[in-house]
């Protein structure tokens, strides 16, 4: 049996924030002719709106502390503005797309993160992914577009890091597809020095990963990102890459390859 390739592509805040870059990316993404899923964050935009509204923003280990007002902001920004704008742009490019939160189609169920040292509020840790609806859509050439919200199946939406949504979706589809997972952001990949684009680390494996954490190269938002990369590569996802969007479209482009 031939196993189809499915690309799960996650785009982060710095791409979404740059209108020109986002539209250019969506144009090229639309042309990918294998089944594909787009997952978007939008943390930066949520932070901007919170600031405008005078709502304090608190982040711990790359995760947003989400009180009731912050959850409202996240819902408006992620599931509303960003998700619908992306779907509309994909439609313009003749890529038939449908916007999803984890509540839609009961695709991603999560559990409110238990309070330990930190109370994250309405932040969800994924406990179950039901990829049936997603499989049906991609097999009919329709592209699901996921935002960073999940639900607890008891009526509560929960804020969930978009990188985690991408890895869990990728893993849930790895039984049926040859899944490739791409984390796109504004840097070439994982850099030895975050301010030097020439310091790209081309391959990271489990061993070198621990060393990079130790040396303080991987910090803040990069910690959950890399954690998700290894979670995916250790759970049957065929390929995991971190870098600029070019890595999807340009054969000679350089990026970080995640290996077991």
Ligand X SMILES: Nc1ncnc2c1ncn2[C@@H]1O[C@H](COP(=O)(O)OP(=O)(O)O)[C@@H](O)[C@H]1O
Give residues 138-157 in contact with ligand X2W (rule: CB under 6 A).
Answer: 148
x/- binding map, residues 136-165, to ligand X, per CB under 6 A? Answer: ---------------------------x--
List helix spans (H) across the chain: 13-16, 19-30, 43-53, 68-74, 83-92, 132-139, 162-173, 206-214, 222-233, 246-249
Q: Is 99 helix (H, G, I), strand (E, B) or coil?
A: strand
CA separation for the pair 114, 121 (Å, rounded): 9
In 3D space, the residue among 30, 46, 245, 20 whose CA is nearest the CA of residue 161 turns out to be 46
Options 62, 76, 93, 178; binder of ligand X; rule CB under 6 A: 62
Q: Please check if 63 is assigned to a binding site.
A: no
Q: Is 254 helix (H, G, I), strand (E, B) or coil?
A: coil
Q: Please check if 159 is assigned to a binding site.
A: yes
Give residues 17-46 in contact with ligand X (rule: CB under 6 A).
Answer: 41, 43
HSE-CB for 53 with a 13 A CA cutoff:
14
Judged by beta carbon, residue 146 or residue 185, the one nearer ligand X is: 185
- Among the listed ranges 72-80, 147-155, 213-221, 229-237, the one in contact with ligand X (CB under 6 A) is 213-221
Options 157, 181, 191, 240; binder of ligand X; rule CB under 6 A: 191
> 149 CB contacts (<8 Å, ≥6 apart)?
74, 75, 78, 79, 101, 102, 103, 157, 158, 159, 160
Options 97, 129, 162, 184; binder of ligand X2W; rule CB under 6 A: 162
Task: Please tell me whether residue 247 binds ligand X under the rule CB under 6 A.
Answer: no
- Binding-site size for ligand X2W (CB under 6 A) equals 15
217 binds, among ligand X, ligand X2W, none (CB under 5 to 8 A by kind): ligand X
Tokens in use for 15?
A: 């791409």
Task: Report the relative pairing of strands 256-258 and 203-204 from DSSP bridges.
Answer: parallel
Task: Please tell me whether residue 221 binds ligand X under the rule CB under 6 A.
Answer: yes
Q: Please check if 121 is assigned to a binding site.
A: no
Task: Please tell me whether residue 166 binds ligand X2W under the rule CB under 6 A.
Answer: no
CA separation for the pair 77, 85 (Å, rounded): 11
List helix spans (H) across 37-194: 43-53, 68-74, 83-92, 132-139, 162-173
Options 22, 38, 74, 190; binder of ligand X2W; rule CB under 6 A: 74
Spatial contact of 142 and 98, defined as CB atoms under 8 Å apart: yes
* Interface positions with ligand X2W (CB under 6 A): 12-13, 41-43, 46, 63-64, 74, 123, 148, 159-162
**Binding region for substrate:** 42-43, 64, 159
* Interface positions with ligand X (CB under 6 A): 12-14, 41, 43, 62, 163, 185-187, 190-191, 194, 217-222, 225
């Amino acid at each position: 049996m031939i196993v189809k390739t499915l690309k799960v592509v996650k785009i982060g805040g710095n791409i979404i924030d740059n209108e020109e870059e986002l539209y250019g990316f969506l144009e090229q993404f639309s042309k990918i002719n294998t089944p594909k899923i787009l997952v978007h964050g939008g943390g930066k935009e949520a932070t901007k709106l919170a600031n405008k509204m005078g709502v304090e923003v608190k982040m711990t280990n790359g995760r947003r502390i989400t009180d009731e007002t912050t959850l409202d902001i996240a819902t408006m920004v992620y599931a509303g503005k960003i998700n619908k704008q992306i779907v509309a742009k994909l439609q313009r490019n003749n890529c038939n797309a449908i916007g999803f939160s984890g509540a839609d189609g009961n695709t991603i169920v999560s559990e409110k993160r238990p309070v330990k040292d930190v109370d994250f509020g309405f932040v969800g840790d994924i406990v179950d992914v039901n990829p049936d609806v997603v499989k049906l859509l991609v097999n009919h050439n329709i592209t699901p577009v996921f935002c960073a919200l999940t639900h607890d199946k008891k009526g509560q939406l929960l804020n969930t890091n978009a990188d985690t949504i991408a890895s869990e979706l990728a893993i849930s589809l790895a039984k049926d597809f040859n899944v490739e997972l791409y984390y796109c952001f504004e840097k070439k990949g994982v850099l030895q020095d975050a301010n030097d684009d020439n310091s790209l680390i081309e391959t990271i494996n489990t061993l070198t990963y621990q060393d990079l954490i130790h040396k303080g190269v991987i910090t803040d938002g990069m910690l959950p990102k890399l954690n998700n990369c290894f979670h995916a590569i250790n759970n049957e996802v065929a390929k995991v890459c971190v870098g600029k969007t070019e890595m999807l479209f340009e054969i000679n482009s350089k990026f970080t390859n995640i290996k077991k």
